[in-house]
Structure 1
Amino acid sequence: MSSLGLALPDVSPPKGAYVPAVRSGNLVFVSGQVPMVGGEVVVTGKVGAEITVEDARALSRQCALAALAAIGSVVDLDDVAQVVKVVGFVASAQGFVDQAKVVDGASGLFFEVFGDVGRHARSAVGVAELPLGAPVEIEVVVQVDR
């Protein structure tokens, strides 16, 4: 990843009764990742009001990096055989309909890191609120081969 100019953040400590990632068989399920630095959300607000699509897309990418860190806490990232599913939640202002453009930040990162293995099924969902006031949250499921 360093060859791509990317550095994984520290795994964010859970803010509740859950773990960042769980392996079940050959799948790793990642808890929803919000854009955090040092255990704190970096920006709050709704996309389409306080947060632009471009900024939200960058935050989505940051969430994807956090998801990779969470995956790396339970398996070696070299063992990822397929990014299976990405679900993006976007805290949306009234009338905002470009959730897919926001979640493209995460999707693009997975393709950048893994190539074709990073292509995945996806949902992009607009919501009224997200934990800690975050504008975006990304969850991921990956398949590993060992």
Structure 2
Amino acid sequence: MTAVTQWESNLTRLGLTLPPVAAPVAAYIPAIRTGSLVYTSGQLPFVDGELSAVGKVGAEVTTEQAKEAAKLCALNALAAVHGLVGLDAVVRVVKVVGFVASAPGYNDQPVVINGASEFLGEVFGDAGVHARSAVGVSELPRNTPVEVEIIVEVQ
């Protein structure tokens, strides 16, 4: 039996477990390592193979629903990291890039992506503080409201 890492203990404390790595929906891999960095592909808010929400934020999806979806994207990104190198290899979160499918006039993209950022802070503490971009877009794959990718430093 393998020892539970601090990061995995934090997930348990939050009532979460890492899901299976989401299968790619196109021609890419979930995560790739170069040197001491792991880059994830954009992750969608899949739960048991289904999107947690669909539609544009500010229209069919509320800011709070989208913020929760961003958290799920980050959880799926951690699963991709874990599937490649193991979560215990993570030294720190370096960057988060979040895309928000936005209704016309919607401009609270940073609030939505806080769902991912705050979650990563809860899991990694000070090592979860990161650089970030939160971008509004007109469309995302499969009509998802949010997509998140992360870059982590690993040992």
Deviation at 1:42, TM superposition (A): 3.0
1:41 counterpart = 2:51: yes
What pairs with 1:45-56 in structure 2 (closer than 5 Å)? 45-56=55-66
What pairs with 1:77-116 in structure 2 (closer than 5 Å)? 77-116=87-126
Contact 1:12–1:38 under 8 Å retained in 2: no
CA, structure 1 residues 38+6, in 2 after alignment: closer, same or farther (shift >3 Å)? closer
Structure-1 separation of matches of 2:48 and 2:13: 24
Percentage of pairs with the same residue: 57
Equivalent position amino acid for 2:73 in 1: C
- After superposition, the C-alpha distances for 1:47-73 in whole angstroms (9 at most, x for unaligned) are 000100001000000101000000000
TM-score, with structure 2 as normaliser: 0.91
Q: Secondary structure at the match of 1:32?
A: coil
Q: How many residues align?
A: 145
Q: Secondary structure at the match of 1:11?
A: coil
1:63 counterpart = 2:65: no
Structure-2 separation of matches of 1:132 and 1:32: 13
Contact 2:53–2:65 under 8 Å retained in 1: no
CA RMSD of aligned residues (A): 0.9
Deviation at 1:15, TM superposition (A): 0.4
Structure 2: runs of 5+ lacking an equivalent: 1-10
Structure-1 separation of matches of 2:46 and 2:37: 25
Equivalent position amino acid for 1:33 in 2: Q
Structure-1 separation of matches of 2:58 and 2:38: 32
Equivalent position amino acid for 2:135 in 1: V
Structure 1: runs of 5+ lacking an equivalent: none
